[in-house]
């Protein structure tokens, strides 16, 4: 008589009972650690959600200020047609450095605007009005703010995926692995108890037989 556990046949022996009980305790300790990890990830997600809201609101505010500054620059420069050649002459590309930051042993991307790649106007500063220079600087700040938003959102997505994987593992422990150990232990214990009862009955039967045999010898 045996049972299937973990894809293998396990004999209902006392040694296997002791082993499974030890493994069950180990699984429960592992579950506690994983549960603590889940709680910490949840805490990080909540903190990042607050950071994301602040970063988004700040980026939106800076973008509005930058547009207002740009519109003022257009007015002070005589309109869009006077500024268009300067705008079209600026290369429409810049570079962003991507790195990695660690959040509770979880890797998340980080982004940094490489300021040396920010294109400058291909004209002398004397042709740029102070309003245009201010608008340019504000737009650079907007880029950095939006990178912060993107970085925070990417971190939240990564943590949510890790949270999902962690919860899946907890569910496996709660609804499959640990119940499997408990059922196997219960089954082996029942078999061993039955064997013990059978052994007690057998010993009592042998004892009665021996007593009868001795009684019969005494009469003879």
CATH assignment of the domain containing 149: 1.10.287.3240
Compute mean pLDDT per 10 residues along the chain, 220 residues long, and list them. 60 88 95 95 93 93 87 75 64 79 84 77 56 78 89 93 95 94 90 85 80 65
**What pLDDT score does 88 carry?**
62
102 sits in the region (left: phi over 0; alpha: psi -120 to 50; else beta) called: beta
Q: Is residue 44 part of a domain?
A: yes
Rounded CA separation 45/156 (Å): 6
Q: Is residue 28 part of a domain?
A: yes
Which residue from 173, 158, 156 is spatially nearest to 35, judged by alpha carbons?
Answer: 173
Q: Is residue 1 part of a domain?
A: no
Cβ 45 vs Cβ 156: under 8 Å: yes
CB atoms within 10 A of CB 135: 23
Sign of CA dihedral 3, 5, 9, 15: negative
φ, ψ for residue 152, nearest 5 deg: -65, -40
**What pLDDT score does 216 carry?**
64
Q: Is residue 189 part of a domain?
A: no
Domain span holding position 144 = 20-171
Q: Is residue 36 part of a domain?
A: yes
**What pLDDT score does 125 carry?**
46
Q: Which distant-in-sequence residues (6+ apart) come within 8 Å of 117 by Cβ?
A: 93, 94, 95
Q: Is residue 33 part of a domain?
A: yes
pTM: 0.73
Give the DSSP letter of residue 115: G
Which residue from 12, 13, 34, 55 is spatially nearest to 153, judged by alpha carbons?
Answer: 55
The number of distinct structural domains making up the chain is: 1
Q: Is residue 72 part of a domain?
A: yes
Q: Is residue 106 part of a domain?
A: yes
Which residues, in sequence order, are bridge partners of residue 5?
A: 8
């Amino acid at each position: 008589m045996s049972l299937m556990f973990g894809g293998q046949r396990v004999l209902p022996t006392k040694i296997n009972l002791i082993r499974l009980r030890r493994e069950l305790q180990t699984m429960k300790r592992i579950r506690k650690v994983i549960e603590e990890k889940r709680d910490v990830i949840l805490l990080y997600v909540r903190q990042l959600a607050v950071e994301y809201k602040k970063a988004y609101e700040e980026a939106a505010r800076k973008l509005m200020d930058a547009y207002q500054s740009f519109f003022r620059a257009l007015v002070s420069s005589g309109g869009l047609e006077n500024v268009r050649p300067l705008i079209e002459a600026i290369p429409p590309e810049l570079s962003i450095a991507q790195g990695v930051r660690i959040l509770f042993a979880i890797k998340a991307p980080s982004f940094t605007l490489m300021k040396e790649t920010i294109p400058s106007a291909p004209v002398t500063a004397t042709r740029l009005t102070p309003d245009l220079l201010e608008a340019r600087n504000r737009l650079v700040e907007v880029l950095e703010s939006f990178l912060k938003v993107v970085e925070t959102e990417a971190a939240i997505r990564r943590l949510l995926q890790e949270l999902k994987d962690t919860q899946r593992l907890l569910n496996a422990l709660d609804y499959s692995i640990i119940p499997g150990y408990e059922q196997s232990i219960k089954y082996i214990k029942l078999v061993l108890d039955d064997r013990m009862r059978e052994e007690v009955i057998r010993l009592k039967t042998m004892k009665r037989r021996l007593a009868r045999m001795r009684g019969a010898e005494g009469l003879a």
